[in-house]
Amino acid sequence: MPPVANSAGSGGAAYAAGQDAAQDSALWAVLAGATDEREYCQSWLAIQCRLIPGVGGAVVLVRQESDGAFVVAAVWPDVRRDMSYLSGTAQKTLAERRGLVVPRKSGDAIQGFEIAYPIEASGQLHGVVVLDVSPRPEAEMQTALRQLHWGAAGLEALFYRHEVAREQASKKRLQSVLELVATAAAEPRYAASAMALATALATRLECERVSIGFLERGHVKVDALSHSAQVKGETNLVRAIAAAMEESIDQSAVVSFPSAEGAPPSVSRAHQALAEDGGACLSVPLVSGGNAVGAITLERAGKEPFDRETVELCEALAALAGPTLEVHRREDRWFGARFATWAYEKAAALFGPRHPGLKLATAVVLVVAALLAILRGDFRVSSSTALEPLVQQAAVAPFNGYIREAPARPGDLVKQGALLAKLDDRELKLERLKWLSQQEELAKQFRAAMADRNAAQVQIVTAQLEQARAQVERAEEQLARTDILAPFDGIVVSGDLTQQLGAPVERGTVLFEVAPLAQFRVVLKVDERDIAYLQVGQTGTLLLSAFPNEPFAFTVRKITPVSTPKDGRNYFRVEAELATHDPRMRPGMEGVGKVDIDRRNYLWIWTRQVIDSLRLALWSWLP
């Protein structure tokens, strides 16, 4: 009997081993022939759970490309089993991006362990696998972790292949987009460029018709149809295409009919009407500057919806070609059309439902302009000014000589009779002594002639004696004029001879200029655009740079008829008289003077120069 029992037990074990081997082979076969991600993950998870003993349940979460959320891709042992109790460990693993072993306790007793491992490929986190295993020794736990780590390579390979495939598809799509854009860019005019792009896109995607349109004054205008040199304006077909484009533009989204599986919901009535004959259509908005400005509509025979690759290609093309076509379209129109479009866009932004800031700014500008047109203020002509002395006297060299002293310098306050400079008098003194000696000698000759009663000689000597006396008087007069004195109390305006001591000067050379401090006139440099407003007798106010907080009143006394060019403009010299005098004033001080004209509205005051310039420019342009 025992041998029989042993034989039966051996047969049962062999049968069970055969069953396991057959099941393993079936799982590996399913894994090798998996056609989608879920089937692959389910087969992989079943194999891992059979390789790791004591697994009570397991789940695989995979990230969705559409929204980035992680969803259940595989469950073991039964897909209908609720594995939500493993979600906490899964979230923690995704957050920390590393393998975790989390004990599951009931009171102080450990009921089991939750083993989790993240699935990464090309630096991207694609999912996580979580296993519920029974309690076991440390060595067996390490073995299970190692097995899960090795087994995760299968999922990583799957996602790595997906990344490579997507990258290759992206490169191929980019190449196609660049080729299409190059086709459009090769045409110099917008209409030819849009038509070439539509035709090339229709040929590449095997579409019956591709249309391109842009918004104009709130409605879409179809500008190009594939394989057609011109677009016939008000046909039913063109209106239907424009309606489909507007439907996509209004939603700022891709609209397809029939809708592809997994596509976001959208309104597609116009697309359904366009494809009513049993076809499929797709519209992709063209975006420029963050706003939808047009659309590309594709039509294809058959009710099969456009696949994801086609939609992605059209989206990439619209993103790259949209701004280029929009700029080309705007620049290819004549000036009047461009200006009309610009005015319409500004008016639409001003009176439309959006742009509250623009509306508020416009309202503020209008209110301010109305107030400026109503309110009146003082109209004053402004100009640069300078103080000039009312009287300015020159101290000149009385004769040819040399400078001996020069104590005065510009800016010095001097009293009447003060020494400004002194000329060298040595030669004059010698000249005086010479004529005095000659006068004495002639006086002796005169007395001798009188003693001899020589009348002729007396007359000759008398004439010579008069000449000698005249020369003496002349020398004494010049000696008296060697001191250059201040003619009155005032300030030295010009003349610095401290660096010219001993230098020769000629008779009549101006050595100093002295001006009184109590008498000034205001000189205004008035622009020729404002000179017509000024009249003698008008009053004004002066602010000097030296005293910016102290205004001085003045009255216009003289308007010179001669202008002076400066910095490309002409200025007239206007002289005015100060009403008050300040002892701190000095000749040459500058500031700004304003002449009171009358009262005008503020809008005219602030815009008159611009308006006058525009009038002159317009007059010069008119024939």
Residue-wise DSSP of 427-452: HHHHHHHHHHHHHHHHHHHHHHHHHH
Per the CB < 8 A criterion, the answer to whether 43 and 6 are in contact is: no
Q: What's the pLDDT score for residue 104?
A: 80
Average pLDDT of the segment spanning 35-55: 79
* 595: confidence class by pLDDT, cuts 50, 70, 90: very high
Phi, then psi, of 72 in degrees rounded to 5: -70, 125
DSSP state of 532: G
Cis peptide before 407 (omega within 30 of 0): no
Question: Higher confidence at residue 351 or residue 210?
Answer: 210
Full 3-state SS string of 293-341: EEEEEEEECCCCCCCHHHHHHHHHHHHHHHHHHHHHHHHCCCHHHHHHH
Q: What is the enclosing helix (H) or strand (E) of 129?
A: strand 124-133
Give the percent of the chain with pLDDT over 70.
Answer: 89
SS3 for 58? strand
Mean pLDDT, the chain, whole residue set = 81
DSSP state of 590: E
Q: What's the pLDDT score for residue 140?
A: 81
Q: What's the pLDDT score for residue 384?
A: 92
**In this model, does residue 66 exceed pLDDT 70?**
no
Count of helices and strands (H, E) across the chain? 13, 24
Question: Higher confidence at residue 420 or residue 365?
Answer: 365
**In this model, does residue 320 exceed pLDDT 90?**
no
Q: What's the pLDDT score for residue 13?
A: 46
CA 240 from chain center: how many Å?
A: 42
Sheet holding 100-106, edge to edge: 70-76, 55-63, 124-133, 109-121, 100-106
**In this model, does residue 21 exceed pLDDT 60?**
no
Separation of alpha carbons 390 and 517, rounded Å = 9
As a 3-state breakdown, the chain gives helix, strand, coil percent values, each rounded to 5, of 45, 30, 25
Cis peptide before 118 (omega within 30 of 0): no
Sheet holding 401-405, edge to edge: 483-485, 419-423, 401-405, 504-505
Close Cβ partners of 335 (under 8 Å, ≥ 6 residues apart): none
Separation of alpha carbons 542 and 294, rounded Å = 62
pLDDT in tens, 468-512: 788 777 777 777 676 777 777 777 777 777 777 767 777 777 777
DSSP state of 257: E
User: Using CA atoms in the order 448, 451, 455, 458, what is the torsion angle rounded to 10 degrees?
Assistant: 30
Per the CB < 8 A criterion, the answer to whether 180 and 317 are in contact is: yes
* 23: confidence class by pLDDT, cuts 50, 70, 90: low
pLDDT in tens, 454-480: 777 878 878 888 887 887 777 777 776
Close Cβ partners of 266 (under 8 Å, ≥ 6 residues apart): 251, 253, 254, 255, 259
**In this model, does residue 58 exceed pLDDT 50?**
yes
This prediction's pTM: 0.45
User: Using CA atoms in the order 309, 313, 319, 320, what is the torsion angle rounded to 10 degrees?
Assistant: 150
Average pLDDT of the segment spanning 383-393: 83
Per the CB < 8 A criterion, the answer to whether 269 and 222 are in contact is: no
* 266: confidence class by pLDDT, cuts 50, 70, 90: confident
DSSP 368-423: HHHHHHH-EEEEEEEEEEEEEES--EEEE-SSSEEEEE----TT-EE-TT-EEEEE
**In this model, does residue 15 exceed pLDDT 50?**
no
Separation of alpha carbons 104 and 416, rounded Å = 115
Average pLDDT of the segment spanning 163-171: 69
Q: What's the pLDDT score for residue 27?
A: 59
Separation of alpha carbons 259 and 329, rounded Å = 31
Question: Higher confidence at residue 600 or residue 25?
Answer: 600
Tokens of 185: 């860019």
> Which residue is listed with tokens 């999922």?
155
pLDDT in tens, 431-440: 777 787 777 7
Average pLDDT of the segment spanning 64-81: 80
Phi, then psi, of 496 in degrees rounded to 5: -130, 105
**In this model, does residue 166 exceed pLDDT 80?**
no
Per the CB < 8 A criterion, the answer to whether 191 and 223 are in contact is: yes
* 4: confidence class by pLDDT, cuts 50, 70, 90: very low
Q: What's the pLDDT score for residue 9?
A: 45
**In this model, does residue 7 exceed pLDDT 60?**
no
Average pLDDT of the segment spanning 297-310: 86
Separation of alpha carbons 520 and 518, rounded Å = 7
Phi, then psi, of 597 in degrees rounded to 5: -100, -70
Q: What's the pLDDT score for residue 591?
A: 93
Tokens of 470: 């005249």
pLDDT in tens, 172-213: 777 777 888 888 878 888 888 889 889 998 988 889 899 999
For residue 224, the tally of other CB atoms under 10 A from its CB is: 26
Separation of alpha carbons 489 and 491, rounded Å = 7
Q: What's the pLDDT score for residue 262?
A: 67
Separation of alpha carbons 239 and 449, rounded Å = 141
Q: What's the pLDDT score for residue 405?
A: 74
pLDDT in tens, 104-118: 877 777 778 888 888
**In this model, does residue 295 exceed pLDDT 90?**
yes
Q: What's the pLDDT score for residue 463?
A: 82
Separation of alpha carbons 205 and 196, rounded Å = 14
Crossing angle of the two packed helices 2-32 and 37-51, in degrees rounded to 10? 150
Q: What's the pLDDT score for residue 16?
A: 44
Closest to 321 measured CA to CA, from 446, 194, 233: 194
Q: What's the pLDDT score for residue 562?
A: 84
**In this model, does residue 258 exceed pLDDT 50?**
yes
Q: What's the pLDDT score for residue 26?
A: 62
Whole-angstrom CA distances from 47 to 26, 40, 128, 227 are 10, 11, 16, 56
Give the percent of the chain with pLDDT over 90.
Answer: 14
Close Cβ partners of 194 (under 8 Å, ≥ 6 residues apart): 184, 212, 223, 224, 325, 329
* 372: confidence class by pLDDT, cuts 50, 70, 90: confident
Average pLDDT of the segment spanning 129-138: 86
